[in-house]
Amino acid sequence: MAIDDNPTVDAHTDRAFEAALLDWIRRQGIEESRRLVRVDEEEALVSKFEPGFAARLHELLRLVPDLFDETTVVANTARVMDSMPDESRVTAWHTAMHQALARAGEQHAIPDLRLAEVRTGVDSVRAILEAVVWSEPRCGTPYEPLSGEVEAYRDGLLALEDGRDVFTRYYGSFDGLAVRNHCPGAAFARVLLAQGWRAVTGTPAPGV
């Protein structure tokens, strides 16, 4: 299902439904404000971002191709690994990604506030990589991914509901609808995650 900045119009999109839904979300302990983005017969999709954010984010990400070219990501990570042999491999990947983002910002005169939108996504992927590559291999030490780490990556994919991704949060059921909060950059984050695994482990990202 495509993600879109405009709510689908049907019986559920009236103001009373949205107000009740957002009140229910707050009662789940979600303090940041949300807005209703889309609703259909099965789910209500909400977001903490303002309308137009997804389009602006996708436009920004097109200006930072070095973050999404696997060969470049692997080479950049390897270079950083050589410079910090005692640090973790995930830290080296994270550092390389931030450096590439900073270079793109300078090249295209992108304000730091906009770059922060991408840095947040990179930081989220780092947290996932650290959880999956739990042996914390060092840059200066030979390493092959453990079978448990490969399974952890696969388990994370297999555990996803309804084909969703790790960047979609399920809040529960309201008025018979599944309520989910979706990151507009999830498709890009999945690419970062797979390429991060390759750069950190030297092996292709495991499939399901």
SS (H, E, C) 45-91: EEECCCCCHHHHHHHHHCCCHHHCCHHHHHHHHHHHHHHCCCCEHHH
Tens digit of each residue's pLDDT (9 = 90 or more) over 124-156: 889 889 989 999 999 999 999 999 999 988 876
Say whether pTM exceeds 0.85.
Answer: no
Residue 97 CB: number of other CB atoms within 10 A?
28
- The CA distance from 82 to 102, in Å, is 20
- The CA distance from 98 to 123, in Å, is 9
12 pLDDT more than 60 = no
Backbone angles phi, psi at 63, to 5 degrees: -85, -5
Tokens of 130: 């650290």
